[in-house]
Structure 1
């Protein structure tokens, strides 16, 4: 958001070698508190908020062609959700805040939605007058227009997924050794063979708004908020026998 508290559509790129910022084509839907994921050369942006209200917007940016592609809207509005890729190359969106205002648990959701990018789709958004991959990223882009694009995918039916045990938002999520693991207050994992969520050992410090990273089959959860800012960090190592 800017100083006027309005959501922004800005996309910028930092070049560490040249120590400069480049202005890239803006999002088609301005937002904040969105979730992003990288797969190959594409950046997926899911959900977010506008004026404190969650939205369904979903789009992808191609780093090579420098084009945005509008994707099918998410099945439900949400922000602060967990986003991860499963072993089949599908994007999984878990939980999140489904209403505006405060962070009461009644406004959280347990829903899990899965997006398959291999399905057919719609045109992409490319800078007007510029072909894919042409130079000019270091100058502000003009308006965008429809252009040819790749297949963009489709959402699976709700009956093909299983909701989490606990309503939650603003949590850590990762795909570890064939299983979805979500961490925030409680820790849970989805067992794909048993098709059910299982509770794992809880974190030593309950918190949200933490950063996370997967390193060698371990989920590293750093910092976060537990009424006051926290410096807690820990590693969760899921042993294979815990899922047998």
Structure 2
């Protein structure tokens, strides 16, 4: 998995563009390959890598915001469903941190109104197979990035309609 680029799910302007396709680009061989498709079509989801697994969380299927979670195991080369998040989220962000999958923010409604942005954060522990709520972000965010630097989790940017957030970087949960 290391060094490869993955494209997982998508949506376009037409219903026919929605897909559960998964593709992998290997830059050392300069080629694309098709992987096993996800169990369902989704778009506007978050993707995060945990060692040899790719987690695909939330997003949209048609106009329905999802709480469902799929996980691709690169060794077994197959997808499996995992327990759903406690909250449905479209356009969230996700990081792998402290051996857990964290999912931050997103929208709770498919009309994407600014007041429907979420500040909530939850994480999945593979050892217990449970989602747990975590400290919320200071500001609700969607369409943003999350990252971990020097053992600290940050949220960066956000929806252009969120005044002042695009240039802000916030420490999460501490």
TM-score bin (small chain)? 0.7 to 0.9
Q: 1:74 offset after TM fit, Å?
A: 1.0
| Greater than 4 Å deviation, 4+ residue runs | none
**Residues 83 and 94 in structure 1, CA contact (< 8 A), matched pair in contact too:** yes
- Aligned partners of 2:2 and 2:127: how far apart in 1? 27
What does the per-residue CA deviation read over 1:191-236, in whole Å, with 9 as the maximum and x for residues that have no partner? 2233211111111110100122221232211110284342332112
- Aligned partners of 2:162 and 2:30: how far apart in 1? 40
Q: Gaps (5+ residues) in structure 2?
A: 106-117
Q: 1:41 offset after TM fit, Å?
A: 2.5
From 60, 68, 87, give the equivalent of 1:111. Answer: 68
Does residue 169 (structure 1) correspond to residue 103 (structure 2)? The answer is no
- Aligned partners of 1:226 and 1:65: how far apart in 2? 38
SS in 2 for 1:214: strand
Does residue 47 (structure 1) correspond to residue 4 (structure 2)? The answer is no
Does residue 99 (structure 1) correspond to residue 23 (structure 2)? The answer is no
Q: CA RMSD in A?
A: 1.8
From 53, 76, 79, give the equivalent of 1:155. Answer: 79
SS in 1 for 2:158: strand
Q: Which has the larger radius of gyration?
A: 1
**Residues 180 and 191 in structure 1, CA contact (< 8 A), matched pair in contact too:** yes
> What corresponds to 2:113 in structure 1?
none
- Aligned length in residues: 157
> What corresponds to 2:102 in structure 1?
181
From 34, 38, 46, give the equivalent of 1:74. Answer: 38
Q: Gaps (5+ residues) in structure 1?
A: 1-38, 101-106, 120-152, 239-244
What does the per-residue CA deviation read over 1:118-168, in whole Å, with 9 as the maximum and x for residues that have no partner? 23xxxxxxxxxxxxxxxxxxxxxxxxxxxxxxxxx1112x3xx11100000
Distance of aligned partners of 1:233 and 1:66 in 2 relative to their CA distance in 1, 3 Å threshold: same
